[in-house]
Amino acid sequence: MNPKIKAAFQLASVLSAGLGLRASFRAAREKNDKLALADAIITALGLITGTALAVRALRKGEDDK
């Protein structure tokens, strides 16, 4: 698969997961559920890492030219 297409799918996945994460974070705060809150925070960190990897893949594709 083309690296740029793969990175674009990664970014789309991160964006859609971010919307669901926002709802999970709010629900955890409303219920004062520390375990669910920790899960939301760890998931957010994973999304940040995924975004960074996708952006790096896109930039690396530009540098190859």
Q: Give 10-residue mean pLDDT values along the chain (65 residues).
A: 80 86 94 96 93 85 59
pTM of the model: 0.72
The Cα angle at residue 18 between residues 6 and 60, in degrees rounded to 5? 30
Contact in structure between 13 and 50 (CB atoms under 8 Å)? yes
User: 14-45 burial by CB neighbour count: b if 16+ within 10 A, else e?
Assistant: beebeeebeebbeebeeeeeeeebeebeebbe
